[in-house]
Structure 1
Amino acid sequence: MTDADPLVEAWSPVQSAVMHGLRDWVVAYTAFNQHLAAWLRLPGSDANALGQIIWAAEADAPLSPAQLSRQIGMTTGATTILLNRLEDAGHVVRSRESADRRRVTLRPAPASREEARRFIALAGAEIAHVLRTTPPDELRAVATFLARMTDAAAGADQRLSAAPGSRTP
């Protein structure tokens, strides 16, 4: 880590373009999530949480409520209320799959998972096209870069959370 001030640092045009591109992706992803919310007839925060639960399940790495809370930036209490709504509506199933019976695992209900897949199939056509037509070497370079950026952001998050007077989400 350097002591450079990112607000006054002289960034190259390509560095600036990358940062603008990352910001634009976040904005586009947020809009995509709002469309998913409308598709599922859920509030945006509930659709975001359900999307995180589905992504984790698809990666065979189901989330706990505490992990979900950190990912969506809500307190554990607020996340519990949100999960109660999703469970009552039949979107999420809480189970105890670990030897430690206190540990709760979140899984999408099969019908909600399939409805989200239908949405992705319809809404993600352009994204899928870009992924299919981008050369593998370019995809590997982007994946490596994004992993490094994610690690950097996680490091900054840990540093900020540990700072005196910080307020963690």
Structure 2
Amino acid sequence: MDPAAAFKLVMLLQEFGQASDRYVDSTGARYKTHRTDMNALAAIIHFERAGTPPTPGDLSRTLLLSSPATSAMLDRLERNGHIERLRIDKDRRVVRIKTTAKARTDGKAMFAPLAASMMNVISGYTDTDVAVISRFMAEATAGVDQARNAGQNS
């Protein structure tokens, strides 16, 4: 492996992360939505796709937020009509968070331009390329999480 090429790739990943942050910030400003709220909606959708709507505690852990910060965020999302708090477990004390149709509609409006742009970029690659890039991105994401966890333990 060429160390200079590897370093350049790391810098490009950093630039991609920053560009993504700029997109989220500008989109959030346009829709008057906090970055944390958009991250929470993405996390809730991830949990829903896995088959289990999250609890507030799940979101606190996922987003690295305190309980009071999570409560404030959920209050904002509920006021905006983006979530529902449901008691759907046998244990009625457990609150689950689900996205609403409004959240899905607003999310599409916010992120459809980004998705279209990314699909345009991806369309220039072969299926084999996409498989390699996908594996790399999954491993790179895991590497970032590993570094974050190591930093918390030191």
Q: Which structure dedicates a bigger proportion of its chain to helix?
A: 2
Name the residue aligned to 1:14.
5
State which of 119, 140, 161 in structure 1 corresponds to 2:152. Answer: 161
State which of 65, 69, 87 in structure 2 corresponds to 1:74. Answer: 65
State which of 84, 105, 110 in structure 2 corresponds to 1:93. Answer: 84
Q: Which 5+ residue runs of structure 2 have no aligned equivalent?
A: none
Instruction: Write the distance in 2 (CA, Å) between the matches of 1:14 and 1:68.
Output: 37
Instruction: Write the distance in 1 (CA, Å) between the matches of 2:103 and 2:17.
Output: 24
* Cα distance, 1:91–1:19 mapped onto 2, change above 3 Å: same
Percent identity between matched residues is 24
Q: Which 5+ residue runs of structure 1 have no aligned equivalent?
A: 1-10, 164-169
* Cα distance, 1:58–1:90 mapped onto 2, change above 3 Å: same
CA deviation profile, 1:93-126 (whole Å, cap 9, x unmatched): 1223444444332222111211211232234321
1:19 Cα deviation from its structure 2 partner: 0.8
Describe how 1:54-133 pairs up with structure 2 within 5 A.
Answer: 54-58=45-49, 60=51, 62-133=53-124
Question: Which moves more between the two structures, 18-27 or 89-98?
Answer: 89-98
TM-score, length of structure 2 as denominator length: 0.80
* Cα distance, 1:158–1:47 mapped onto 2, change above 3 Å: closer
Residue identity opposite 1:130 in structure 2 = V
Residue identity opposite 2:24 in structure 1 = N
State which of 98, 110, 132 in structure 2 corresponds to 1:141. Answer: 132
| Residue 132 of structure 2 is aligned to residue 151 of structure 1 | no
TM-score, length of structure 1 as denominator length: 0.74
SS in 2 for 1:63: coil
SS in 2 for 1:70: helix
CA deviation profile, 1:40-97 (whole Å, cap 9, x unmatched): 2223332332333345435655433233223333212211111112112211112234
Residue identity opposite 1:74 in structure 2 = L
CA contact (8 A) 1:54 1:113 kept: no
Instruction: Write the distance in 2 (CA, Å) between the matches of 1:60 and 1:39.
Output: 31
Question: Which moves more between the two structures, 32-41 or 107-116?
Answer: 32-41
